[in-house]
């Protein structure tokens, strides 16, 4: 067995506002656990590296000369991770109390569980919905038709984002968010690294799907809590975020639902995702204008 309990992999990109709070929370709550922190920086242009370097031997730092994407950055860390367990952690998070120990203990007691997601809360203590069911054409249809927004708590129309679950109790799930994903290292050794075609989004969805395919269980574990400021990195590039999110969704459908007759559905659903992406970009653009300027723009169309 490895002498390291948990390898914590953090991929940073312009994370100067959050990374120190994240690292300090890990060091303050790790207790007697033997941990290693692997920080992979994707060519930050702010003060992220300046903040990371004083930690010295407390972290292993990988510096990339370009932004290689989240999946590739995680894989760089996974290749050198020595822990019996791995925590993929976003830099815009803070570990709460003894949550690292709680996640490790839960995995030790449940050997058929390959991965878990802790409860995520914002910095005001509000629970963030942090798990989803695996996407498919039917669930995407409810999204494109707007039925998931009209009936968010429905077990049918709100199924993808698990609107029927309050995220207050421990239960088996399909896909916890990659913001904080606790994994058994031997599961990673079995299924392989992240699929790097998913540059920023849906790499965690694909990863969890492969874990399930390999007959491992995945759990949401409410007893472990992590603070999360959602979108600290992706919020810096809102238009690109929307495009990459929809592209990741399309790639996922193509990978797992793109064979035989189902492949025929890719074109209309791909177009639906494209127009949905376009509408979100336009909507974000219009938010910058006052009601008067919006009317002027509409009259010009």
Q: Nearest-CA neighbor of 26 among 125, 124, 101?
A: 101
Q: Which residue is associated with the tokens 């639902």? A: 257
Which pLDDT tens digit goes with each residue over 118-136? 999 998 889 999 999 999 9
Question: Is residue 240 classed as helix, strand or coil in its secondary structure?
Answer: helix
Summary mean pLDDT of the chain: 88
Query: What CA–CA distance (Å, rounded) separates 76 from 60?
Result: 11
Which pLDDT tens digit goes with each residue over 30-73? 999 999 999 999 999 999 999 999 999 999 999 999 999 999 99
Q: Nearest-CA neighbor of 71 among 197, 234, 226, 254?
A: 197
What is each CA distance from 211 to 67, 116, 184, 208, 247, in whole angstroms? 27, 11, 10, 5, 22
Show Cβ contacts of residue 190 under 8 Å, excluding neighbours closer than 6 positions: 214
pLDDT of residue 273: 57
Q: Are strands 35-41 and 59-63 parallel, antiparallel or unpaired?
A: parallel
pLDDT of residue 296: 45
pTM above 0.85, yes or no: yes
Show Cβ contacts of residue 148 under 8 Å, excluding neighbours closer than 6 positions: 142, 154, 157, 158, 160, 161, 163
Alpha carbons within 13 A on the beta-carbon side of 240:
9
Structure tokens at 146: 């707007």
pLDDT of residue 268: 60
Residue 12 sits at φ, ψ, to 5 deg, of: -110, 150
Which pLDDT tens digit goes with each residue over 253-299? 889 987 755 555 555 655 555 655 556 555 655 566 555 544 444 44
Which residues in 87-115 are b (16+ Cβ under 10 Å) and which e? bbbbbbbbbbebbbbbbbebbeeeeebbb
Q: Nearest-CA neighbor of 174 among 131, 203, 204, 111?
A: 131
**pLDDT greater than 90 at residue 247:** no
**pLDDT greater than 50 at residue 86:** yes
Query: What CA–CA distance (Å, rounded) separates 175 from 213?
Result: 12
């Amino acid at each position: 067995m490895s002498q390291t309990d948990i390898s914590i992999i953090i991929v940073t990109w312009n994370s100067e506002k959050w990374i120190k709070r994240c690292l300090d929370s890990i060091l303050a709550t790790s207790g007697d656990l033997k941990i290693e922190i692997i920080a992979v920086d994707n060519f930050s242009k702010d003060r992220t590296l300046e903040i990371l370097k004083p930690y010295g031997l407390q972290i292993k730092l990988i510096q990339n000369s370009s932004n290689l994407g989240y999946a590739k950055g995680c894989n760089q860390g996974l290749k050198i991770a020595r822990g019996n367990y791995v925590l993929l952690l976003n830099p815009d998070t803070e570990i709460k109390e003894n949550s690292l120990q709680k996640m490790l203990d839960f995995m030790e007691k449940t050997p058929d569980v390959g991965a878990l997601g802790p409860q995520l809360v914002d910095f005001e203590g509000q629970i963030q919905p942090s798990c989803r069911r695996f996407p498919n054409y039917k669930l995407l249809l409810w999204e494109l038709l707007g039925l998931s927004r009209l009936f968010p708590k429905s077990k049918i129309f709100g199924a993808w984002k698990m609107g029927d679950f309050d995220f207050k109790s421990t239960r088996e799930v399909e896909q916890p968010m990659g913001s904080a994903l606790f994994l058994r290292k031997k599961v990673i050794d079995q299924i392989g690294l992240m699929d790097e075609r998913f540059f920023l989004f849906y790499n965690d969805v694909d990863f969890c799907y492969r874990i399930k395919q390999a007959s491992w269980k995945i759990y949401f574990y409410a007893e472990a809590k992590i603070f999360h400021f959602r979108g600290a990195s992706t919020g810096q590039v809102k238009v690109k975020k929307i495009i990459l999110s929809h592209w990741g969704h399309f790639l996922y459908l193509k990978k797992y639902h793109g064979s035989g007759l189902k492949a025929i559905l890719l074109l209309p659903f791909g177009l639906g995702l494209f127009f949905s992406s376009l509408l979100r970009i336009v909507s974000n653009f219009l938010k910058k204008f006052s009601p008067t300027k919006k009317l002027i723009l509409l009259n010009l169309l």
